[in-house]
Structure 1
Amino acid sequence: MSLLCTLTVAAGEPFRPIEGEFPSLEQAHSYRGELVFVDHANRRGSIRIDGGGRFRFASPSPFAMLPYGIVRYRGAPADLRDIPLGTLLYVKAFLPPDPHVSSVPVLPVDNRLKKLGYAGTGVAPAENHVLLLEDDLSHNLRLGLKWELTEINVTAKGSTLTATRRTVNGSDAVDGSETFSFDAATRIWRGRELLELTDMIRNQTWPASGQKVLDRQEVHLGISWKPTPGAIFTRFHIVDIWLDGISLTRATRRQSEKHKDFIHSRWMPAKVDAVEYGKFGNAKVTATLFGGMDESLYADFKNGSGAMMAASENTLKHWASGTAGTAQMASKGVLTMVQRKKDNISIGSSGIQVTLETDLVTEGFRPGRIVRIRPNNWPLVEVPRNEYLHDGRNTINDRFPTPDIFPKYR
């Protein structure tokens, strides 16, 4: 069986991150599966994990993004709300840093070793706090991989494409040959064009019916899952095909622009490193900006420029109070230090440390706590009600979402 259809189990012992520190990607447990549920406001959801068994038998497995966890879609930064349900995702995850405040079920540490019937092994791992969540396109771009199409088979009962994943330099395959389903809704991107199956048939690139050898055509794929006829236990489905660099660049740029606009309105998340208190509410707050953002966002943090800093939570939600919006609850000040670390930067960190000097420090600015920062040249807007905590109206369960919305998983 192809490695593509089996669960990847990270070597070594299960790892629990230390709160306030950025763990390394190498310590994470790896798996992949279909996105089946999203609670984007609380940065959590569920994935049907591929355990090498009969995929449809696997129950959805809850996950939560770490505060510094990175989401990537179509080769660019993303938010959970950007990813369509059904998308095949690759996951790098850890045990909950603090099981007492986990927003998803806390499972036995050895759960990734358990076989759960026909679903396979490791389909409900205890490592459900995610450092990196990425679709197939982002996964391949990060690792320098590509797909090569080798054969197409068009039939009335269901069409398939066979492909092999290789390194960009064309060396030996990293996985065995894999067969995917596709259909008339599959989007085929070429340059600035969006093509359909009928277009590929009309120009005789693909057959109207039957098989054709495709001679290792290099592509990138967007992959999801849907039920497959013919008693096939696990077969993934192609929703997008990028035939060339122009179409790929355009897809990545669109997603990047979408996420930049999102961060402009929700502010840059960061971790407080230190607080130097002055008199009468004055303080210097030093924080490390989280990683995974477009470089143009980091470029807006400049020495001497004005900025706002707001207390946040592990879900990255803002705080509000009474009729005061999130911006009114923020501390205003000046960035007196912006410096970038050059070496040994963990994936959740940008390596950029900033210091905000303010005359009104708030309780939320404590070492190890999460904040959001807005340079003054970003637009000033208010976030919707489901994305902030309302001081005095919320309970402890709003501040620390519980796993109660999820079924009792094994």
Structure 2
Amino acid sequence: MTNVAIAEDEPYRPEVGKFPPIDQALSYRGELVFVDHANRRGSLRIEGAGMFYRNDPHPFAMLPYGIVRYHGAPADLRDVPLGTVLHARAFLPPDPKISSVPVLPVNNRKKNAGYSGAGTAPAENHVLLLEDEPSYCQRVGKVWKLKELEIKNNQGMIVASRATKDGRDGDANEEAMTFDAATRIWRGRECLGIDDLIAEKVWPSEGKKAFDGQPVFLGITWKPTPGGVFTRFHISDIWLDDTAMQRAAQQQTETHKAFVRSRWMPAVVDAVEYGKFGRAKVSATLFGGMDESLYADFKKGSSAMMNAVENTLKHTHGAYGPSHMASKGSILDVIQTEDDIPLGSSGIQIQFETDLIIEGIRPGRVVRVCPGNWPRVNVPREEYLGSGSPEERFPTPDIFPKY
């Protein structure tokens, strides 16, 4: 059965500079098979109605305000291992002229791709939300309930269904997934292997065991499957309790916090009030999906820097780091909206004043902002545009040295 959910008969295209409503997004699930982390894009092998292994990798790009979540925590694409099965909520490209992935006919999701079936190459390839299985389950309030296990030589099959903890949807579809000796079992603060559970007599060394709906969180990947099975996913991780899942989220959160502090917080410019001799007051809304402690660093009266970035969030001004050409100044105010906050937005607007505004800071444009207490570091060469031209996003072979 296809896992592609169609939002509308007529696809919705987001407006540039505005956060789109999540209920207009197309939903699909697929295996991460390629990542270009510097350009916030990659490819998914999307689950459709046909043979999964025949499905071509389908390119996607993260929207500037697009959110990645891994292990129930904020993440960057570089944090997610290849092979991970991810849930996507995606749209048509807001501006096809500057899309970093192929622009397809708007009805491409309905086209049949031979053995793959329909839905494996949707035109909605600009992602607002990309999340792994534990993140998805926590967001929708579900867990995996184990039904039965069959094991031999530390590998086998688990039958489980995704359902609410209270069992209200007990008729949820069951799914058979493989596991093997590389599958990690997380219990409290422990990381166990299949052989540990066998030694504890929690699992048998061979044969079947019924679980009667034991609730767990699962990490899901895909591996080639013998026997001509069209689609069968693989279990990479099993979190047996909330403590184990919370520890995984905490570790990922700390990884992402360090990453954002070194690359700066992304935001969209709402308005610019120009003064004399380069002075300006800038209103900008910080993007969402980050840990609360990062937003807490934006304080009224504190110093800050703001630099223009491209839609892939690459810095566009500065030859050796984001602070080279950034506009320096102070935060005049921090305003938290009380309205419904769309996904992608933090609902936090800062008002920033600088005495020398750079060209790229304009209404509707994306910027990155660094509070004064964050470290000033230089980003690697592939993460900024020396000339500021979008054409530089995707280097030619000339990027390599001449030996």
Give the shorter-chain TM-score range.
over 0.9
Post-superposition shift, 1:319?
Answer: 2.6
- Identity value in percent: 61
Task: Please point out which of 83, 87, 90 is paired with 2:87.
Answer: 90
Which of 323, 328, 347 lines up with 1:327 in the alignment?
323
Identify the match of residue 258 of structure 1 among 255, 259, 263.
255
The amino acid of 1:13's aligned partner reads: E
> Compared with structure 1, are the counterparts of its residues 371 and 28 closer, same or farther at alpha carbon in structure 2 (3 Å cutoff)?
same
TM-align CA RMSD: 1.7
Match of 1:383 in 2: 379
Change (3 A) 1:28 1:370: same
Q: Distance in 2 between the 1:64 and 1:328 partners?
A: 28
In structure 1, distance between residues paired with 2:21 and 2:336? 18
The 1-side partners of 2:338 and 2:204 are apart by 52
3-state SS in 2 of match to 1:307: strand
Q: Please name the residue that 2:354 is paired with.
A: 358
**Correspondence 1:236 to 2:233:** yes
Task: Indicate yes or no: 2:361 matched with 1:349.
Answer: no
CA contact (8 A) 2:153 2:205 kept: no
Specify the alignment match of 2:280 in structure 1: 283
Q: Distance in 2 between matches of 1:140 and 1:12?
A: 27
1:245 aligns with 2:242: yes
- How far off is 1:163 after superposition? 0.5
Which secondary structure does the structure 1 equivalent of 2:386 belong to?
Answer: strand
Moved more, 113-122 or 358-367: 113-122
Sort the Cα spacing of 1:325 and 1:158 in 2 relative to 1 into closer, same or farther, 3 A. Answer: closer
Structure 2 residue 98 is matched with structure 1 residue 101: yes
Change (3 A) 1:175 1:117: farther
Amino acid at match of 2:275: G
1:164 positional shift: 1.1
Q: How many angstroms does 1:11 deviate by?
A: 3.6
SS at match of 1:188: strand
- Match for 1:164 among 156, 161, 169? 161
Cα distance change on mapping 1:269 and 1:321 into 2, 3 Å = closer
Q: Which runs of 5+ in 2 are unaligned?
A: 397-403
Match of 1:408 in 2: none
1:219-245 residue CA offsets vs partner (Å, 9 max, x unmatched):
000000001111111000000000001
| Alignment match, 2:336 | 340
Structure 1 residue identity aligned to 2:25: A
Offset at 1:398?
A: 1.4
Letter in 1 for 2:239: W
SS at match of 1:269: strand
> In the alignment, does 2:392 pair up with 1:398?
yes
Whole-Å separation in 2 of the counterparts to 1:331 and 1:338? 18
Contact 1:165 1:173 (C-alpha < 8 Å) held by counterparts: no
Instruction: Give the structure 2 partner of residue 134 of structure 1.
Output: 131
Tell me how far 1:204 sits from its aligned partner.
1.1
Secondary structure in 2 aligned to 1:218? strand
Q: Choose which of 50, 53, 76 in structure 2 pairs with 1:53.
A: 50
Check the 8 A contact 1:30/1:90 in 2, yes or no: yes
Q: Aligned to 1:296, what secondary structure does the other structure show? A: helix
Deviation by residue 1:94-150 (Cα, 9 ceiling, x = unmatched): 001111111101111101111211112110000000000000010000000101101
Question: Alignment partner of 1:390: what SS?
Answer: coil
Distance of 1:203 and 1:158 partners within structure 2: 17
2:219 pairs with 1:212: no
Q: C-alpha distance in 1, partners of 2:163/2:83?
A: 24
The aligned amino acid for 1:65 is M
Contact 1:102 1:402 in 2 (8 A): no
* Match for residue 177 of structure 1 among 174, 179, 187: 174
Q: Is 2:30 the partner of 1:33?
A: yes
Select the residue among 126, 147, 151 that pairs with 2:144: 147
Aligned amino acid, residue 304 of structure 2: A
Cα distance in 2, alignment partners of residues 319 and 11 from structure 1: 36
CA distance in 2, matches of 1:396, 1:30: 29
Q: TM-score, normalised by structure 2?
A: 0.95
Quote the offset at 1:168 in angstroms: 2.7
Structure 2 match to 1:407 = none
Q: Hey, what's the Cα distance between the residues in 2 that align with 1:370 and 1:296?
A: 22
Q: Does the 8 Å contact 1:224/1:239 carry over to 2?
A: yes
Distance in 2, matches of 1:201 and 1:313, equals 52
TM-score, length-scaled by structure 1? 0.94
Q: Report deviation, 1:321.
A: 3.8
**Per the alignment, do residues 261 and 157 of structure 1 end up closer, same or farther by CA in structure 2, a change over 3 Å counting?**
closer
CA drift at 1:158: 5.0
State the one-letter code of the partner of 1:376.
G
* Unaligned 5+ runs, structure 1: 404-410
SS at the partner of 2:94? coil
Against the structure 1 CA distance between its residues 402 and 134, is the aligned structure 2 distance closer, same or farther, given a 3 Å change threshold? farther
Could you tell me whether the CA contact under 8 Å between 1:54 and 1:233 is conserved in 2? yes
